[in-house]
Amino acid sequence: MVNLRKKLPPLTALTAFEAAARLSSFTRAATELGVTQAAISRQIHLLEEDFGFPLFRRLHRKIELTDKGRLLYAAAGDAFNLIADTVADLRSEGADDELAIAATISFSHFWLLPRIAAFSRAYPEIKLRIITQDARTSIEASDVDLAIRYGTGTWPDGQAEFLFEDEVFPICSADYLATADPIRTPGDLINHPLITSDIDDPTWTGWDEWLAAFSVKAPKRARGLRCSFYTEAIYAAMNGQGIALGWNRLVSDLIRQTRLVRLTEASIRTRAAYFVVVPARRPKKESGRLFIEWLREVSSSAE
The count of domains in the chain is: 3
User: Other C-beta atoms within 10 Å of 216: how many?
Assistant: 18
Which of 75-79's residues contact partners 24+ apart within 8 Å by CB, and which partners?
A: 76/14, 76/17, 76/18, 76/21, 77/18, 77/21, 77/22
**pLDDT the model gives residue 93:** 46
Whether residue 155 is found in the same domain as residue 295: yes
Per-residue pLDDT tens listing for the chain (303 residues)? 446 666 778 888 889 999 999 999 999 898 888 889 999 999 999 899 988 999 999 988 889 999 999 999 998 888 888 887 776 666 554 445 689 999 999 999 999 999 999 999 999 999 999 999 887 778 877 788 999 999 999 988 889 999 999 999 999 999 999 998 889 899 999 999 999 988 777 888 999 999 999 999 988 777 889 998 899 999 999 999 999 999 999 999 999 999 999 998 999 999 899 999 998 877 788 999 999 999 999 988 765
For residue 277, the enclosing domain spans: 98-165+272-301
Whether residue 151 is found in the same domain as residue 195: no
Query: In CATH, what number is assigned to the domain containing residue 282?
Result: 3.40.190.10
**pLDDT the model gives residue 128:** 95
